Structure 1
Amino acid sequence: MDHESRIHIGFLIFEGFPMACLTSMIEPLRAANEIANQPAFAWTLIGEKKGRVMSSAQVAFEATQSLAEANDLDSLFLLSSPTERFADAQKSPATLRSLARHGVTLGSISGGVFPLVRAGIVHRQPVSVHWCYEAAFRAEFPDVDARSDVIVASARLQTVSGAAAAFDLALRLVEGQLGRETAHEVACWFQHPSMRGEGVRQKVPVAQAPHTGDDLPDLVLRAVDIFASRISDAVTVAEVARKTGVTPRQVERAFKAATGQSPTHYYRAMRMKAARQLVIYSGDAIADIAAAVGYGSSVPLVSHYKAAFGVTPQQDRRRANQFRVDANKPVPSI
């Protein structure tokens, strides 16, 4: 395979980027090169500036090229935590937009969707947002079409929710470049059971239960969907019962049997998780966060938050900020 037909992928890494997301995409591409015995894929680690970049796992990587020097790329993926921003808020986003205009496919993995959107790359296109970041993302970008699919991709914009989804996207690239048989062999190398595509929803943990939702009864799943759509506009169990065509008692019994808790407590846990995203990944005032998750004031929010996480929102935010600053450690990312 000649240089012209090779696919060259850049990974723009920020401090605290999720290491698994990077390796989950590079390793299948490396394996594909070995299996095909040809350099079908090449990759470059890029930073705003050249040099050492610390990952979320406290393993350092070397950005061998600066963003300003990025060239000869077919695709460029952003990897970061949700809180990271460009050091040069004018020049770096402009460079990304210039790359896009010159035919480079841009994308993001996990929290990298935040700087991607901040750069003005995404307009009316949908993007994949990890469920862990959904509340913070919607608060910052209410007009962006955030999807829960593991992969949301077009010819010019490719976004994936996390590390496993990055592996799936890499397999798609291998299939497109080297064929289905090679992609299947790569998947088997890593014991990756199947290649997920667009339209596949993320696995989301059920609050305080060892499930991802697949084995929940239909009534509970429908109620959870209603709860998820009404985080900021609180809904009662009676309303959920009316919408699902059953009695409140049936909803109560179904939740207790499936999750071990009442629908009210389950719903509160969902709202607390959304609140914690906003506490850690946004700078919003606690009163605004309370309103965003359906509370009339911050007093009950603080009480429920402390019961759920053992600290107040203010204490949790101070802890997160201290973790970011001390030894330049990032808040954990997905």
Structure 2
Amino acid sequence: MRASVPFTLGILLVPGFSVLGLAALIEPLRLANHVADRALFAWRTLSPDGAPVVASSGFAVGVDGTGDPDAAFDGLVLCAGGEVEAPDGPYTELIAASARRGALVAGIDGGAEGLAAAGHLADRPVPVHWRRREHFALCRPDLAASDGLFDLSDTRASSAGGMAVVDLALALIQRQAGRDIAVSVCDELLHQRPRAAGEPQRPGAAAPAPQHDPRIAHVIAVMRTAIGAPRPIHAFAADVGLSSRQLERLFLRDLGCSPGAVFLDMRLDRARDLLAGTDQPIASVARDCGFVSQSHFSKVFRDRFGLSPGEARQPVRPPRPSWRAPAVSIGTAASTADA
């Protein structure tokens, strides 16, 4: 697809939205205009009443206008933070009007989860930030929570937030203006490359570098599938035709640690994510991560992170979204988008 006129976006800011997410969307589009030396994209920031919207960082951000269901935007973006709640009332009207026109309906960061919960991402993968994914999957088992960075179709787009919003913007730039422009924007941003939609959000500290022995990559992949039902190290070794001692030497040579230490770290990282993102009892978290003894789990958890599982839950746990939003009034806005 190529744009002969600016592709216009209405960006609806939700209280508690991420300033990083907003900038990660707008700056690549601005740079695309700069690189192409023409207006490929235009945008307007919106709020229900035209008043400034307070971001998660406490900044009050001014907007260009109020929402209007009849505004002829090519796309509408729900820009939210981690505490977004499902669109309701006038929000629903504004999003539904854009969907009826066949416009692009998008959500970034928690906005993706909000759109999904409101039924606008049916049959699409929903990129959910890794820290909230467990809770989202528990709350909405009917939706396909994804580990990917973003998703983009003709009429729907979503991103897990953070720097993944840059990659969504680059994919939109490539679709509208071509890969050369997208790569040039990468260069301007000092962004290594446009990442693919399905690339994992967090490859993992234990992921082997390309130069490592491929048997290590295989064992680590199998370990990730066995977190809830741990296997002995000799079983992992047998998968790649090695003895336990040979596998240990291989790991020590390439990773500087034993396969047992790598597997334990994976299980503890998983436990930390469950504690931060779900309401599961600590005993249940321990079992799901392969620990038969809760006391042993507490000991190794404290050894790794410096605090108990109970202490870890409260300080780092993000506020739990309810997937509902307060009703607000949406005023009338101009129907054109300024560059």
Range into which the TM-score falls when normalised by the shorter chain: 0.7 to 0.9
In structure 2, the partner of 1:75 is 75
Structure 1 residues 141, 249: CA separation in 2 closer, same or farther (over 3 Å shift)?
farther
- 1:275-299 CA-to-partner distances (Å, cap 9, x unmatched) read 2222223333333333333334644
Structure 1 residues 247, 58: CA separation in 2 closer, same or farther (over 3 Å shift)?
farther
- 1:205-228 CA-to-partner distances (Å, cap 9, x unmatched) read 315xxx774454322222221222
Instruction: Output the amino acid matched with 2:27.
Output: E
In structure 2, the partner of 1:256 is 252
Cα root mean square deviation, aligned: 3.6
In structure 1, the partner of 2:301 is 305
Alignment of 1:258-273 (within 5 A): 258-273=254-269
In structure 2, the partner of 1:332 is none
Alignment of 1:156-195 (within 5 A): 156-195=155-194
Greater C-alpha radius of gyration: 2
**Whole-angstrom CA distance in 2 between matches of 1:139 and 1:235:** 26
- What is the Cα deviation at residue 27 of structure 1? 0.6
The DSSP-based 3-state class of the residue aligned with 1:252 is helix
In structure 1, the partner of 2:287 is 291
- 1:216-243 CA-to-partner distances (Å, cap 9, x unmatched) read 4322222221222233333332332233
Match of 1:220 among 209, 216, 219: 216
Moved over 6 A (4+): none
Instruction: Output the amino acid matched with 1:177.
Output: Q
Instruction: Output the amino acid matched with 1:276.
Output: R
In structure 2, the partner of 1:24 is 24
**Whole-angstrom CA distance in 2 between matches of 1:297 and 1:51:** 54
In structure 1, the partner of 2:10 is 10
In structure 2, the partner of 1:34 is 34
In structure 2, the partner of 1:118 is 117
Structure 1 residues 91, 69: CA separation in 2 closer, same or farther (over 3 Å shift)?
closer
| Paired-residue identity, % | 26
**Whole-angstrom CA distance in 1 between matches of 2:188 and 2:310:** 46
- What is the Cα deviation at residue 132 of structure 1? 4.7
Structure 1 residues 157, 291: CA separation in 2 closer, same or farther (over 3 Å shift)?
farther
- 1:178-226 CA-to-partner distances (Å, cap 9, x unmatched) read 344433433332233433334544452315xxx7744543222222212
**Whole-angstrom CA distance in 2 between matches of 1:146 and 1:133:** 10
Structure that is richer in helix per residue: 1
Structure 1 residues 262, 50: CA separation in 2 closer, same or farther (over 3 Å shift)?
farther
Q: Is the 8 A contact 1:14 1:79 kept in 2?
A: yes
Q: Is the 8 A contact 1:49 1:63 kept in 2?
A: no
Q: Is the 8 A contact 1:150 1:165 kept in 2?
A: yes
Higher mean C-alpha displacement, 183-192 vs 137-146: 137-146
- Equivalenced residue count is 318
Q: Answer 1 or 2: higher relative contact order, Cα 8 Å, separation at least 6.
A: 2
Alignment of 1:234-253 (within 5 A): 234-253=230-249
Structure 1 residues 31, 288: CA separation in 2 closer, same or farther (over 3 Å shift)?
same
- 1:251-280 CA-to-partner distances (Å, cap 9, x unmatched) read 322222333322222222222222222222
TM-score, structure 2 as length reference: 0.75
Q: Which consecutive unaligned segments of at least 5 residues does structure 1 have? A: 326-334
